[in-house]
Chain A
Amino acid sequence: MSLTYVNQILPSLFSGAWMTIRIFFWTLVGALPLGVLVSMGLRSRFSPIRWVLNFYVWLMRGTPLLLQLMFVFYGLPDVNIVFARYPAALFAFILNYAAYFAEIFRGGFAGIDHGQYEGAQVLGLTYTQTLRKIILPQVVKSVIPAVGNEVINLVKDSSLVYVIGLGDLLRAGNVASARDVTLVPLILVGIIYLLLTLVCTYALRGLEKHYSYYR
């Protein structure tokens, strides 16, 4: 593994990694809040809302993300919804991940003792105040491990964007590997993925620790 060769391909790997990181970041920014909203809708008293959202979750979790990506980019133009590659990828990723997060958050909400709502009600707090100050902080704490798993998955899932022609980390490695007939770029790609998941793991540990001040 000559150092000059590594130096020569690293810039293209880094620019691929940058795409991976962007998709990772914006998917989380979109899918986490959306997941919270959907999870609240899944607990709605209004049954049509529950029905629609359950269908959405089923659809997103019941089909491969790869298929969803292809559908958004190649299928939706047939009904005159046209996305460029990058927004198409974000759209599919956010919708997909929000469904997984919604299920996790639904479990988190279900785990909160009903007494917490009643305790707040008899103090005169509104439902929104109760959610913000009492329920959500406890839900967030309880879902960190499960959300963490999905976050690590997302780092690797982001490589699926190759199917709609986006140049991410894995694709950059693939291109170099095929062109130069060597495995070196793929080894470097593996190392970069490991570093990215390592950063995520530490960030999640930190978050868990931050919330460990109470039980």
Chain B
Amino acid sequence: MLELKNINKSFAQRKILNNFSMVVPDQQIVSIVGPSGAGKTTLLRCIAGLERPDSGSFLLDGQPFDPVEDRGSERKIGVVFQDFNLFPNLSVFDNIMLAPKMVTGQTTKQAREQVEPLVESLGLTRVVKQYPFQLSGGQKQRVAIARALAMEPAILCYDEPTSALDPTLRDMVGQLILDLKKRGITQIVVTHDQQFAEKIADQVVTVKPLNA
């Protein structure tokens, strides 16, 4: 369970998050919605440790937790970025294998045993040897999900997982997120699509723009 308490964040004196609090229970899907510019991505970046909040605290399973210090093999938060940020110089397989090998120090064989079922369950078996530039948007997204899951994060975060997809693919990623929930994965999904949020989430949190 992840708890956010009174998170504040400003950019150049402009307040984006004001005393924001929420709770993400284990094995649930929490969706964060709100209009463009409301601060959804900023909130996600704070949770992922890519942005340091001005004040506020995080608790993970009741323990104080600093996302910015969330490093190495003990890293708790996984992220699927809006534009995926796949590594273009690495094949699909190496994109997914890189962190298990470099960060957790597994041998190639160990990492392969862990990664192969993941690759298969995400329907990526046929494209493992390809490079990101050869993939469709939906495939890239599933690679990004596999890459994050390979590190077995406590919580997986998505920024606008539907933005790059057409309607059929949107339903597919919705289904995938629900499948991952069944496998016990806790997820935070940022989206501006209220309908999508209500369809997948156990809890919908709204971020409102602050008028500074």
Chain A interface residues (CB < 8 Å from chain B): 113, 115-116, 118-126, 129, 133-134, 137-138, 141, 213-215
Contact = CB atoms under 8 A, between A and B. Distances in A.
Given A133-B102, A138-B89, A215-B88, A122 B131 contact: no
Given A116-B87, A125-B102, A141-B89, A214 B148 contact: no
B98 A133 contact: yes
A115 B81 contact: yes
Contacts of A133: 87, 90, 98, 102
Contacts of A123: 75, 98-99, 103, 147-148, 151
14 contacts: A115-B85, A118-B50, A119-B81, A119-B85, A119-B86, A120-B87, A121-B49, A121-B50, A122-B77, A122-B78, A133-B87, A134-B87, A141-B89, A214-B88
B99 A125 contact: yes
Determine the main DSSP class of B at the interface with A.
loop
In the A-B complex, the 6 residue pairs with the smallest Cβ-Cβ separation, listed nearest first, are A119-B85, A123-B99, A115-B85, A124-B75, A124-B103, A122-B79
B48 interface: yes
Contact of B71 (A113, A124, A138, A214): A124
Specify the main secondary structure of chain A where it touches its partner: helix
Given A121-B50, A124-B72, 18 more contacts: A113-B85, A115-B85, A119-B84, A120-B87, A122-B49, A122-B50, A122-B77, A122-B79, A122-B148, A123-B98, A123-B99, A123-B148, A124-B75, A125-B98, A138-B89, A141-B89, A214-B131, A214-B133
B127 to A, nearest CB: 14
A21 to B, nearest CB: 32
B83 interface: yes
A120 B151 CA distance: 12
Q: Which of B73, B102, B132 has the most CB of A within 10 A?
A: B102
A124 B70 CA distance: 8
A198 B102 CA distance: 40
Nearest to B48: A122
A213 B131 CA distance: 8
B52 to A, nearest CB: 13
Nearest to A214: B131
Q: Which of A119, A137, A213 has the most CB of B within 10 A?
A: A119
Interface centre among A129, A133, A138, A213 (most CB of B within 10 A): A133
A213 B94 CA distance: 14
A125 B103 contact: yes
A214 B89 contact: yes
Contacts of A138: 88-89
Nearest to A121: B50
A120 B144 CA distance: 12
Nearest to A123: B99
B64 to A, nearest CB: 20
A25 B210 CA distance: 61
Contacts of B89: 134, 137-138, 141, 214
